[in-house]
Amino acid sequence: MNRKVLWGLVSLLVITNLLTLYFWSGERSTSPKSSKLQDMEVVEASDEVNEPVALINGEEVSYVDWVSSLKQTYGKKTLEDMVNKQLVFQLAEEHDLTLEPKLIDRELHSMETMQGVSGKEELEQKQEQWRKDIEYQLYLEEILTRDVEIAEEDIKKYFEKHKDDYTFSKTYQLSQIVVNNKKEADKVYKELEEGSDFSVLAREYSDETSSGEFGGYLGYYSENTTFLDNAYFNAAEKLEEGQYSQPFEAPGGYVVIYLHRTLPEVTFTYDELKAHIRRELALGHISGVATADMLWEQADIDWIYGE
């Protein structure tokens, strides 16, 4: 994923969070609760919009004022982003545009490596949102560049020079417990076999303090990294997700690893990358920043906001 696309997707995720905050009112509890933080009493809004959302030394902050402030601060930008997304997906359908599925998988894997440990349901929800954001960004680039001509010779030259940059290497999400000797490693393994929690044992036993204090969590690593010894990957290859390894020796001591996730390798042929490379090269021929508001004049948009 190039830096421009990555930051575009990060921006979309921030906007999504703001939308969640703005429309939180639809999920208000009918049983108000309160909690004190120093002199501030926070009150969950009821179904009555005239109920206060906070009390500061007895002085109310009204629900209406709160929502009005959100609208003034984020409303216009949020609306524009919603219009942009809907417009781009409409045009993609109108022009019968398609995207290479493996390219979307690669971007999803790249975004997942920036996350910590997530439950299955939480991860699936994130992936669904990421997929929409990736599709939006790629469709937008295709729509904005579809009339830009790029010679196939230039596309082939770019592919030959940069094809390895598009490969996503097989990647493992790992935690570890590192101890000084085989006897202690066997003790850790025995406790795991008896049902002890891996992260608890990592905090208790691991000599590798930088990961031990976080329950042994290491993060995502592929075999081309220089930060982990090959012994880690030899052990990880034998595991299914959710399994831990038998103790093995590595630089620094004896190690037991836990495999959270395995992200498969993604590689591309020229035909699979041709359209994407054409888009990337064509973007260089567009003046200014490529944004969806460049498409507004082509659409019948009735801006009612603020009227």
* The predicted structure's pLDDT at residue 48: 58
**Mean pLDDT in the chain?**
84
* The predicted structure's pLDDT at residue 305: 61
| Contact indicator for 169, 265 with CB cutoff of 8 Å | yes
Q: Which of the residues in the chain have pLDDT under 70?
A: 1-49, 209-210, 305-307
* The predicted structure's pLDDT at residue 211: 76
* The predicted structure's pLDDT at residue 67: 82
Reading the block at residue 154, the tokens are: 């230039």
Phi, psi of 119 (to 5 degrees): -70, 165
How far apart (Å, rounded) are the C-alpha atoms in residues 8 and 15?
Answer: 11
Closest C-alpha to 61, from 45, 37, 38: 45
The CATH number, out of the four listed (3.10.310.50, 1.20.140.10, 1.20.120.140, 3.10.50.40), of the domain defined by the range 171-263: 3.10.50.40
Q: What is the DSSP string of the chain?
A: --HHHHHHHHHHHHHHHHHHHHTGGGG--SS--EEEETTEEEE---S-TTSEEEEETTEEEEHHHHHHHHIIIIIHHHHHHHHHHHHHHHHHHHTT----HHHHHHHHHHHHTTS----HHHHHHHHHHHHHHHHHHHHHHHHHHTT----HHHHHHHHHHHGGGG-B--EEEEEEEEESSHHHHHHHHHHHHTT--HHHHHHHH-S-HHHHTTTTEEEEEETT-SSS-HHHHHHHTTPPTT-BPPPEEETTEEEEEEEEEEEPPB---HHHHHHHHHHHHHHTTS-S---GGGGGGGS-----TT-
Show contacts of 202-206: CB within 8 Å, 24+ apart.
202/175, 202/176, 202/177, 205/177, 205/179, 206/176, 206/177, 206/178, 206/179
The whole-angstrom distance between residue 263's C-alpha and the CA centroid of its chain comes to: 14
Could you tell me if residue 240 is left (phi over 0), alpha (psi between -120 and 50 degrees) or otherwise beta?
beta
* The predicted structure's pLDDT at residue 306: 55
How far apart (Å, rounded) are the C-alpha atoms in residues 149 and 134?
Answer: 24
Q: What is the CB neighbour count within 10 angstroms for residue 97? A: 17
**Domains of the chain: which residue ranges?**
3-162+267-298, 171-263
* The predicted structure's pLDDT at residue 124: 92
